[in-house]
Structure formats: C-alpha cells, structure tokens
Structure 1
Amino acid sequence: MNRDLQNFPILTTERLTLRKLSKKDSEEILQLRSDKEINKFLDRKPSKTLEDALKFINNIIENESDTLFYWAITRTGEYKLIGTICLFEFSGNLKTSEIGYELRTEYQSQGIMIEAASKVLEYAITTLGIKTIDAQTHKDNQSSTKLLQKLNFIKLDNVVGNNINLILFRLTS
C-alpha cells in the first residue's frame, strides 16, 4: 500500500470531520492526554505540559506512514479537536490492523465515537482492503466495550498478552 502523505485522507460524516493531526492541536491533545477519567483505562504516561503534547504530536507526524493513520476528530465546520481515532499495527500483508480511539469526556455519550469509528472502519475495509481489525480495551471500560459490540466486534480473549486487564475484540470483514 502506497499512499501520498500530502493527501492524507480526510473523512467526513453527518456531524464530524476526521482530519490530520496538527501542531495547532496541542492544547486539546494536552486536555485529552491529561484527563484522569480517560487515562485510567490507558497504560500510558499522561501529558503534563504543552511541551509533552507537542512531543506526542511531532512523534505522530514524524511516524506517519503506510502503517499509521491518526485522525483528529472535530465537529464539521470547527477546527477544535474533540478526540482522536487511529488505525495502526498493520500486518506485513496489510490485511489486518488495530483501531484505537479516545474522546474528551464532555463529548462522550453523544454518539460521536460510533459515528467516527464507523467511518474509519468503512475506510479501512473498502479503501484499504483490511480484512481483520483488532481492538483492545480495559476490562472495566464499559463504554468502550459497548461501542465495540455496537460496531459488531466479537470478544476473543479476556487477556491480551500478559496483561490481565485487557480484552481483545476483533472485527472481520
């Protein structure tokens, strides 16, 4: 799969625009990655400063390739990032990948993530030809579990690797 990174795929839905992450998103990335409620289910070091957020953004921008699609979720007509969604960990034959997502707390329970994820899954399957998409979620993250079930992911394992807190879900096209 070769893609022109100058033409990053911008995806749109009825309410949302999924666009390329930008250095201008640093304040919103800081809010997202420092939110205790969001981070309690993620095994990562929280961002503490604007510099941390910029380092994260720069890392994403530098590593964009055929095996990483990282979208900023925005309301159509607005620039402000309200969440992120990504496809990553593509297999060697590019037929499998993983999906990850996070949404600022104040935008949760509004159907935003199912709308964004549905569009990303459609893109992955129809445009990229992905056959299998995996998702890992914390066993206590009921919102994420319900989202994956609504998106027709099937629960495979209660333990991912050596992590007894992660559940593996899979969608097969």
Structure 2
Amino acid sequence: MNRNLRTFPILITERFTLRELSKKDSEEILLLRSDAEINKFLDRKLSKTLDDALSFINSIISNESDELFYWAITKTGEDKLIGTICLFDFLVDLKKCEIGYELLTEFHGQGFMIEAIRKVLEYTINTHGLKMIDAHTHKDNQSSTKLLQKLNFKKMEDIIENNPNVILLRLTT
C-alpha cells in the first residue's frame, strides 16, 4: 500500500513525539548531517548547506512507503527535531527490517534514544509483525553498541559487506 493513501504513523512516548519528517526540519537535519561527532562512524558525505539538507529531506519524503519509515524525534509539545529514527530494507518474507538513528550531540547521554527506539520497536513488532530487526554500527561506536544491547540486540558473527569495521546487531522477537 502506498503511504500517500494513509496517515503516517505518529508515535508518542513519555517525553517525545515521533512524527513525519518535513521541509521545516532542514536546519536541524543540516546540524545532524554536518556534525563531525555524529557522523564520524557513518559512511556518508557531510551536508554543508541548507540545500543539502533539503535535498536529503525531499529524497526521504519522495521515497517513504511501507518499506521506509523516517521519524523526526521531537520533545512532546515542541516541534523542533532533536534526532531521527528510520526503518528500512524491509524483507517481508523474512519478517525483517533494519533500524537506524541519530541524535543531536547536545541530547546524548540522557536516555532519549533508548525511549524513542523502544517505541519504534513496539510499533514495528506489533503493527508489522516483524521477527528480526537489524542494526549496523561501526565497531568503535561503543555508545551505539551499548544502546542496542540494552534493547536486547545481540552481536552477530556475520561479516558485513566485507567491511571489518561494521558489526551487525540483531533483535529477534
């Protein structure tokens, strides 16, 4: 089903509202995608301008479907994006997808991402009936690895695309 025919799933936690990404998020997306600390473990080109951020947002909006969910994380009652979570690479026959996330540096270490990811996992499992959720992280990104392990993701021995710097963590429900 094309997402344009239905409402994007808004998720609410104790402290956050996870909503659809929009063009008005361009300044915060630029901050996320240009911050050297956030991006040091990611294999992507840094954004340099608002146009780069808008181009990224437009690509997300045009590709959203039942196979890509991209949430803006906002504090409830506020509209400013503080991070993002996405679900992608759905393999319906295997009941599996991948999760990715990022958070503005000033919000690190406050338990925000674990709360937001828990809500997305609940949605993914309960609404889509998925049995496996994968996360790829850099072997040196201990914060991300520890976060995923707190959420019951387990390190897998799989080699990731011949990249020895990336590890696979998997949640099996």
CA deviations 1:34-79 (Å, max 9, x no partner) are 0000110000001000000000000000000110000000000000
* Partner in structure 1 of residue 61 of structure 2: 61
Give secondary structure in 2 for the equivalent of 1:89.
Answer: strand
Q: TM-score, normalised by structure 2?
A: 0.96
Give secondary structure in 2 for the equivalent of 1:127.
Answer: helix
Give secondary structure in 2 for the equivalent of 1:113.
Answer: helix
CA contact (8 A) 1:158 1:164 kept: no
Q: TM-score, normalised by structure 1?
A: 0.96
Which piece of structure 1 moves more, 152-161 or 46-55?
152-161
Distance 1:78 1:105 in 2: 18
Distance 1:57 1:76 in 2: 22
State the superposition RMSD in angstroms.
1.2
Unmatched tracts of structure 1, length 5 or more: none
Unmatched tracts of structure 2, length 5 or more: none
Give secondary structure in 1 for the equivalent of 2:102.
Answer: strand
Distance 1:151 1:51 in 2: 35
Q: Matched residue pairs, number? A: 172
Which piece of structure 1 moves more, 142-151 or 86-95?
86-95
Give secondary structure in 2 for the equivalent of 1:169.
Answer: strand
Distance 2:67 2:43 in 1: 22
CA deviations 1:138-165 (Å, max 9, x no partner) are 0010110000000000100374121111
* Partner in structure 2 of residue 113 of structure 1: 113
* Partner in structure 2 of residue 140 of structure 1: 140
* Partner in structure 1 of residue 163 of structure 2: 163
* Partner in structure 2 of residue 25 of structure 1: 25
Question: How many percent of aligned residue pairs carry the same amino acid?
Answer: 72
